[in-house]
Structure 1
Amino acid sequence: MAIFKGAGVAIATPFKANGEVNYDEFARLIEFQIENGTDAIIVCGTTGEAATMSEREHMDVVKFCIDKVAKRIPVIAGTGSNCTETAIQLSKEAEEYGADAVLSVTPYYNKATQGGLYAHFSAIAKAINIPIILYNVPSRTGCNILPETAVKLARDHKNIVGIKDATGNISQTIKMMSLAEGCIDLYSGDDDQIVPIMSVGGLGVISVLSNIAPRQTHEICQKCLDGDYATARELQFKAYPLVKALFSEVNPIPVKAALNMVGFEAGPLRLPLTEMEDANKAHLREEMIRYGLEVK
């Protein structure tokens, strides 16, 4: 059975002005997501700025999210690292806290071979019992899980069950799904490719857009799941300008600005990320209003 179907939010982590995690606002954001139909929460991923958290802080945020959600929807913990032992440690801890699954990104910077990727993810899979979703985002990591490697991992390890595909390469995605013959669940890692990915067998999206438009993102996915691709396509087209604005600077710079605009106290970013440029922020605001969001 799939961990989730539909729109899973790659949730942002609110910070206070002094840089500490704002747990009160994080709790508010979690409740907003659940109340508005989000199908799963992915905590401490790229959008959650896990890369600038200490390991202890990272896992404190994961535990807080798991406890707050309290099994109402699945919680998937980002536990990837470019150090295999660290990824194992974080994944074990997430399992102990009650995570429904982990999201494990390809080892960034190291640029492992396909054999290295297989060994890395195999070691994690052997160390935990909960499901693993692989995260393939070559533009950020410099490393690409090829279709053959993803399928071999899913076939050789029963708890490697899915992949977040943020390659932007639909040809590679189709090849993977044709080789997989149903052995791996596919999720779009890009909000502008929800419908294309779901049309070739994807079950949903791990979404940045969902932070500010959870119900709308869920609806795109649900129409696909219902087989109503005509409506899903129109909803995808409607969201496209806003999605592009949300990626006009590196994620999560724009989405944190957007959260602040809709009334959340998402707070600042942690260096080396900086605040959004004024021109891009003005354009983002315009697209949010055009999309029908209430902006403060």
Structure 2
Amino acid sequence: MSLRTQLRGTGVALITPFQNDFSIDYEALDVMIDHMINNGVEYIVSMGTTGEAPTISKEEKKNIVAHTLAKVAGRVPVVVGIGGNNTAETVHELKTFPLDKAVAVLSVSPYYSKPSQEGLFQHYKAVAEASPRPVILYNVPGRTGRNLSAATTIRLAREVPNIAGIKEAAGDMLQCMQLLKNRPDDFFVCSGDDTLALPQLACGMDGLISVIANSMPRKFSDMVRLALDGKLKEAKVLNDAMLETYELLFAENNPAGVKSFLFHLGLIENVLRLPVVPLSEPLHKRAKQLLEADITLR
């Protein structure tokens, strides 16, 4: 079964709950996983940026991935985030992480180093050759400092076995349309930008990997399913109702916004690891007000 079939719809980039001493809160992680699955998301992504992977040790990451796979227990597919700007270290992690029950690996483009397009191609070629699971490219130049061009993505899709898809978060609609026009038939293309998801789905994307679905999994995944079914007017009604929430969730940083909402929902403690800090108090209060005013955001 291709990833276009397995991962059609909404994947949630799962947050990592912490206790007040900054240790991993596995009990809250279990609650979050059940909350996502019970409210209709199609799959879970463990250890992405929203999971605060940059501030989590390698051993913690392994434990979180193993715990997540065991808790999900095959109810929905699980994608595991493994990437970085040290190609050799990424290759090592791919060979040592517990990936046997994952359907794919999501690998972010090298950050800070700002490699050329050829450097990006060679990095991902090495990653794909080392990975025991299909690789989903992750293009997010706002964080990495370098765009993975549509041409390089299509070259990877056509020339490198085991490159199976891309999470596209450049915010460039022309680039999205170029990807969708030129991709191989079985190449998975999903959005990595909640705020642009509706127009990108209308252009032909297969779904998205969402931050917002952590805090409103049912409403957001319903919107995505409507859009995928071609019911764009109905999807727009739901999307319009969430616009103020979108703005608040990304007003300062990610995942501070979504963790604020989840705290007000009683699912986690409002704790993040430095250098990311909780949402400022005025916005934290505003998140509570939004939830109290519209229970459908829950």
Q: Does 1:199 align with 2:202?
A: yes
Aligned mates of 1:244, 1:162 — CA distance in 2: 28
Number of aligned residue pairs: give it.
295
Partner of 2:71: 68
Aligned mates of 2:218, 2:95 — CA distance in 1: 32
TM superposition shift of 1:290: 3.9
TM superposition shift of 1:95: 5.4
Partner of 1:45: 48
With the length of structure 1 as denominator, give the TM-score of the two structures: 0.95
Aligned mates of 2:181, 2:98 — CA distance in 1: 31
Q: 11, 28, 41: which one pairs with 1:25?
A: 28
Partner of 1:279: 282
* AA in 2 matched with 1:137: V
TM superposition shift of 1:240: 1.5
> Are residues 277 and 111 of structure 1, via their aligned partners in 2, closer, same or farther at CA, if it must alter by over 3 Å?
same
* AA in 2 matched with 1:188: S
Partner of 1:216: 219
**Following superposition of structure 1 onto structure 2, how do residues 54-203 of structure 1 map, counting pairs within 5 Å?**
54-94=57-97, 96-203=99-206
Aligned mates of 2:88, 2:248 — CA distance in 1: 37
SS at match of 1:47: helix
* AA in 2 matched with 1:246: L
In structure 1, runs of 5+ residues without a counterpart are none
Q: Does 1:34 align with 2:37?
A: yes
With the length of structure 2 as denominator, give the TM-score of the two structures: 0.94
Partner of 2:261: 258
> Are residues 117 and 294 of structure 1, via their aligned partners in 2, closer, same or farther at CA, if it must alter by over 3 Å?
closer
Partner of 2:229: 226
Per-residue CA distance 1:132-190 (angstroms, 9 max, x = gap): 11111111110110000001111112321111111111111112222225352111111
Is 13-22 or 182-191 further displaced after alignment? 182-191
* AA in 2 matched with 1:98: K
